């Protein structure tokens, strides 16, 4: 059986899977991301690959390649993480370092590109040719497939949609600019606003405060989503805000790209229609030429948080 390992390095966790040629996840491994130490990140990736390789070997399988998806700007040759807003990578030769640590050929790809490819090959976009995907996680990532090919741009850094400026002089982004889309439509944005409500002692935040024991630093996105599912107005409003920002940004992307399908993935998308319904409503209000064009459907990623791992594993199998 042809097996590749897909590794998705996010701002908080490293998720890895052994993936078959048909996109089936065979086994999983996970580590926390030591986000501020590049050496420890490489070591953690190597540990997950070794773990999965051993499990596959015990079942008579052999891992032939590794795909690494990460939240950063990847050079066109697919060798270097030029810049990562949420990780301590600056001109990091990650491909060579992971190859040296694992002894296997490595394909390096932006995480949102990998997720878009995973959905295009095996998920929600497998019947489409022109797809735009956004991932709502620690930040906002983007992946674009045009006529069945990933759009990478002249220098390999295309589709960094999270860093479109939507609020001049707005909140500071990890990239150094102010007012980027991801500062308003990401898991980080959701948590920031929820913590602010609790820290201010707002009576509107009673359920959120109860969930975190009154300590806003203990709040995370999953807590906010659960409180919203329980019907709390404040948490519902916070998710609606993220959805509205998401829909407005998607409308701008549609004006440029005219995709046949818009796919929304990442951890925040696990909130489902609590985010997607306000996103669809905001998209419909802001789409250029609305009423005179066919609007693309906005659908959740079918592969969920696995899209990046599956996509980059498939890219690794194809390129090595």
Instruction: Give CA–CA dist 146/181, Å, rounded.
Output: 23
- What confidence tens digit (pLDDT) does each residue in 210-259 have? 999 999 999 999 999 999 999 999 999 999 999 999 999 999 999 999 99
Query: In this predicted structure, what is the pLDDT of residue 1?
Result: 59
How many Cβ atoms sit within 10 Å of the Cβ of residue 289? 10
Instruction: List C-alpha distances in Å: 129 to 142, 149, 171.
Output: 16, 8, 36
Q: Is the CB of residue 69 less than 8 Å from the CB of residue 114?
A: yes
- Same CATH topology for 2-118+306-319 and 128-300: the answer is yes
The backbone region for 176, taken as left when phi is positive above 0, alpha when psi lies in -120 to 50, beta otherwise, is left
Q: Does domain 2-118+306-319 sit in CATH 3.30.420.40?
A: yes
Tens-digit pLDDT profile for residues 50-99: 999 999 999 999 999 999 999 888 999 999 999 887 788 999 999 999 99
Q: Are 190 and 182 in contact (CB under 8 A)?
A: no
CATH code of the region 128-300: 3.30.420.40
Q: What is the pLDDT of residues 11-63, one digit of tens each?
A: 788 999 999 999 999 999 999 999 889 999 999 999 999 999 999 999 999 99
- For the chain, where are the alpha helices, taking DSSP H only? 38-58, 94-102, 111-122, 187-199, 206-211, 221-229, 233-257, 273-286, 307-319
Tens digits of residue pLDDT in 156-200? 889 999 999 999 999 999 888 999 999 999 999 999 999 999 999
Q: Which residue has the tokens 């996105």?
A: 221
Answer for the pair 250, 279: CB distance below 8 angstroms, yes or no. Answer: yes
For the chain, the structural domain boundaries read 2-118+306-319, 128-300
């Amino acid at each position: 059986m042809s097996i590749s390992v897909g590794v998705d390095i996010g701002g908080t966790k490293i998720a890895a899977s052994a993936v078959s040629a048909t996109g089936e996840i065979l086994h999983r491994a996970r580590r926390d991301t030591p986000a501020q130490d590049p050496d420890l990140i490489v070591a953690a990736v190597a540990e997950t690959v070794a773990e999965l390789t051993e499990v596959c070997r015990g079942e008579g399988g052999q891992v032939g390649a590794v795909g690494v998806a990460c939240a950063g700007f990847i050079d066109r040759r697919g060798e270097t993480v030029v810049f990562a807003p949420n990780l301590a990578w600056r001109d990091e030769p990650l491909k060579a370092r992971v190859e040296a640590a694992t002894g296997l050929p490595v394909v390096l790809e932006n995480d949102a590109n990998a997720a878009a490819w995973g959905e295009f090959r095996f998920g929600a976009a497998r019947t489409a040719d022109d797809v735009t995907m956004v991932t709502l996680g620690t930040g906002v990532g983007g992946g674009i497939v045009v006529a069945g090919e990933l759009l990478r741009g002249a220098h390999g850094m295309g589709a960094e949609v999270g860093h479109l400026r939507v609020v001049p002089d707005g909140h500071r982004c990890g990239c150094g600019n102010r007012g980027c889309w991801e500062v308003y439509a990401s898991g980080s944005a959701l948590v920031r606003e929820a913590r602010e409500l609790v820290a201010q002692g707002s009576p509107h935040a009673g359920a959120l405060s109860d969930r975190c024991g009154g300590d806003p630093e203990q709040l995370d996105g999953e807590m906010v989503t659960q409180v919203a599912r329980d019907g709390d107005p404040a948490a519902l409003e916070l998710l609606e805000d993220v959805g509205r920002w998401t829909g407005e940004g998607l409308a701008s992307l549609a004006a440029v790209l005219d995709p046949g399908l818009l796919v929304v993935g990442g951890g925040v998308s696990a909130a489902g229609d609590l985010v997607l319904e306000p996103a669809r409503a905001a998209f419909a209000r802001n789409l250029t030429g609305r009423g005179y064009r066919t609007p693309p459907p906005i659908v959740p990623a079918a592969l969920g948080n696995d899209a990046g791992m599956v996509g980059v594993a498939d890219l690794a199998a194809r390129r090595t």
